[in-house]
Each structure stands twice: as structure tokens, then as C-alpha cells.
Amino acid sequence: MQLATEDNITELAAARWATAHDPRTAEVLSALVKHLHAFAREVRLTEAEWMAAVQWLTRTGQVCDDKREEFILASDVLGLSMLVVQMNHRLDPAATPATVLGPFHIPGSPGLEFGGDMSDGLPGTPLFVHGTVRDLDGKPVGGAVLDVWQADTDGLYESQVAEADEARLRAKYTTREDGTYCVRTIAPLGYSIPMDGPVGELIDRTDISQFRPAHIHFLIDEPGYEPLITHLFQEGADYLDSDVVFGTKQELVVAFTEREPGPTPDGGESASPFLVAEYDFVLQPKG
């Protein structure tokens, strides 16, 4: 019989969790135990601090529901989400880089035509985002679905707007045979992550800026290619170099160019000024 002491408890607990039936689960859980213990030893965790952490985790779980993902938010602000993204998407430098999914993606967005307006009359500066989806050899990818979502000009996503009863600032666009796509929307603004929960509580105790730079989210999951979850950020936007979730990448920063009334990228006409962002997504073949 070997009873636990301060010196041997890490070894005992790691060995116990290494008995998980699935080898990967055994590897992950025993490593987790070792790192948790090393952390507690390093900071000499007090019982009060341990209890405060447990209560913080409890509150984080309690505010989660089908619309609020406080654990994802916690992972995002700790830089863990972005670390996992970077390790799992070591793409060719010519491919469009991935960034965080974030807590606001809603599956099942409605399909819109080339140039269809996903802002549907919401206030904001009209913006066209257009370009081509290609593979690494420059070949256009026709029929690819771009799942697009963004915040409104108050920085709120659909799931944060109680009265939203239909798709709001989100839609799916399918590329034409020549790989081209065109999204019509309103210009996004920088926004604060939700600060009224346990994550905000922690951020309020630091000098961390709680803001994200203006961006639009894209998810392209085309058979034969690595799924791409990414954003396009507005060039010159505030917070590009202090993104609270570490999600900004230089390759994803795009000029939003002002245009006078006249022809629009979808082949139509605008009677008022608008913005245009042009971006070609480059997909990496699977494997």
C-alpha cells in the first residue's frame, strides 16, 4: 500500500489517471494532473485561492446556456483557443490562416445569392466583401460555401439580442463556378467581449483591453480541403495590436475602401457611398 504524501501525490495521481482505457485519454489526463500539480506547487496555492477558483469555474458553468459560451470565452482570453488553432492549422504560408471560432457562431444560417444583403436593413455603412476562393495552385473553388457572421454596430451578435427572431447578420454564400463570392453587409465595428460574467470579472482586475478589432467571421468547410475558420479585419481599425483573444493576423487585415455612389461589386448600383473589401481565400487541400 502506498499512501499519498506531498512528495508522491503527483506521481500517484498521474499513474491512476494513466489507467484510462483509451491511450490518448490516458496520456492527456495524466499530463493534465502533472501540470495542475506543478502549477499548484509553483504558486503555492492556498486553500482560499483554490476555493475561489472552484467558485469561479462554477459561476462560469452557471452562466452558460444555448446562447452563452463563457467557457469558450475564458479559453479565448487566456490565449488557449488561439494556441490550439495555431498548433492544429500549420498551413502552407500561401493558405489563408485560421483564427478563433469565438462563442457567437450559429449553425444553419440561411443561404443568400451572390451580393445578397445579410444586414437586411440594419443601420450601418454598406460594405461589399468580395473575391475568389482558390486552392494553393490558384485554381478557383466553385460551389464552396462561405458561412459568414458578424456583430452589429452596437457590437452585438444575434445571440446577444433577445428580440432577434430570425437570422441577423449571418448568412451562407456559395461561390460561383469561377470561385467568386460577394457578401453585402454593413461595416463591422470593434467591440467589447461580454464583460458581465466571470470572464469580465477577471479582466476587470487587470489592465487588459477587453476589445476586439472590427472583423467579419468566415467558415469555409469544403470537401477535399482543410476546414477554414477565420476572420477578415479592417485595416487601420482600433485594437488590431491588442485583440483580447489574440486572434488578429497580418494576412487577414484588409483595406475597406470608400467608394462613391455608382456600380457595386455584385454588378448593381448604389445611390449612396459604400465600402469595398476585396479578399481571395486560399484553401489548403486535405492532408
Residues binding ligand BEZ (CB under 6 A) = 73, 76, 100, 102-104, 193, 212, 245
> Residue 155 Cβ, how far from ligand BEZ at the closest point, in Å?
10
> Residue 174 Cβ, how far from ligand BEZ at the closest point, in Å?
23
Q: Which CB sits closer to ligand BEZ, 29 or 148?
A: 148
> Residue 184 Cβ, how far from ligand BEZ at the closest point, in Å?
20
Q: Which CB sits closer to ligand BEZ, 170 or 212?
A: 212
> Residue 81 Cβ, how far from ligand BEZ at the closest point, in Å?
7
d(CA 199, CA 189): 22
> Residue 200 Cβ, how far from ligand BEZ at the closest point, in Å?
11
Q: Which CB sits closer to ligand BEZ, 85 or 193?
A: 193
Which residues are bridge partners to 232 per DSSP? 216
Q: Report in angstroms the alpha-carbon separations of 63 from 55, 75, 102, 194.
A: 12, 15, 16, 12
Strands (E), the chain: 111-112, 126-135, 145-149, 170-174, 180-186, 191-192, 211-212, 215-220, 228-234, 253-254, 257-259, 262-263, 269-270, 274-278, 281-283
Nearest Cα residue to 150 out of 194, 106, 113, 108:
106
> Residue 232 Cβ, how far from ligand BEZ at the closest point, in Å?
12
- Residue with smallest beta-carbon separation from ligand BEZ: 102
d(CA 23, CA 21): 6
Q: Which CB sits closer to ligand BEZ, 100 or 187?
A: 100
> Residue 102 Cβ, how far from ligand BEZ at the closest point, in Å?
3
Q: Which CB sits closer to ligand BEZ, 133 or 245?
A: 245
Q: Which CB sits closer to ligand BEZ, 134 or 168?
A: 168
Strands (E), 169-256: 170-174, 180-186, 191-192, 211-212, 215-220, 228-234, 253-254
Q: Report in angstroms the alpha-carbon separations of 158 from 73, 143, 152, 163, 215.
A: 16, 27, 8, 9, 15
Q: Which CB sits closer to ligand BEZ, 144 or 245?
A: 245
